[in-house]
Amino acid sequence: MILDTQFLIDILRGNDSSANEKTTELDAKFGVKGIATISVMELWKGAVQSIHQEKEKRKVNELIQSLFVHSFTEEDAKKAGEIEADLKKRGEMIDLEDIMIAGAALARNETILTRNIRHFNKIKGLNLESY
């Protein structure tokens, strides 16, 4: 399972009870939880933009260290390129970061945990789980 950035943000903020419940469930189910490299970029950007930059960077680092980071590979990039081309052709574009996370998930045959079902549902063949 690959955790979407929004799920990670909800965990960092600590104010989403459904995300906290899902974390407990995942901890019991999986020894290791994964994220895509792109989520690292998104989280780090948010930390750097925060008025509490150093505190947020520490929180993000701690979270990242507790997860397995799937590096963005050539296969991920090819899948993301296919997804983007298909979405453009259908006139249903979503954020490039979401396309890249989906490419990583498809390349690994992994499910994405997200509450952003509306965007990710546009991608053919992608396995999703919500919280």
Structural domain boundaries of the chain?
A: 2-129
Q: What is the mean pLDDT of the chain?
A: 96
**Which helix (H) or strand (E) covers residue 65, if one does?**
helix 53-65
pTM over 0.85: yes
Sheet holding 34-36, edge to edge: 68-70, 34-36, 2-3, 111-113, 127-129
pLDDT category at 30 given cuts 50, 70, 90 is confident
Per-residue pLDDT tens over the stretch 68-90: 999 999 999 999 999 999 999 99
- pLDDT computed for residue 88 by the predictor: 98
Q: What is the CATH number of domain 2-129?
A: 3.40.50.1010
Rounded CA-CA distance 87/90 in Å is: 5
Identify the band that residue 32 occupies on the pLDDT scale cut at 50, 70 and 90. confident
